[in-house]
Structure 1
Amino acid sequence: MNAMVLAAGFGTRMKPLTDHLPKALLPIHGKPLIEMILNQLQSQGFDKIAVNAHYHAGKIKTF
């Protein structure tokens, strides 16, 4: 199955936390939010996952 994670927003309502880090990489219980989302999708059988990124996209790509 295919999935798309929408992670392109600026996270303006979460400033100053998102000044230097996209909200997808903000830690929740010590792990980046996107890691938790990707793990959950994989555990549900999604094998092709695309991430739509814009704000600090390079940091998401590096992750």
Structure 2
Amino acid sequence: MKIDKKSWRQGYEAGLRQQNSHVFPEPENTEVLSWHAGFLEGQTEAEIKIKIHRKQSRRKEP
């Protein structure tokens, strides 16, 4: 499968913003599979950053 970079990037950015893919479906004129692949990767990246932030916040407490 060939990934459409522009569609993937749009999905990735939506995933980073933690948008719900059912509420905010892929924009028109995007390649659907590429957009969803990017969305899932962006969402995963955002969740990892949240977990790291929570872990670091807990360490700062006395």
- TM, length-normalised to structure 2: 0.30
Larger helix proportion, structure 1 or 2? 2
Larger strand proportion, structure 1 or 2? 1
* Greater length-normalized contact order (CA 8 Å, ≥ 6 residues apart): 1
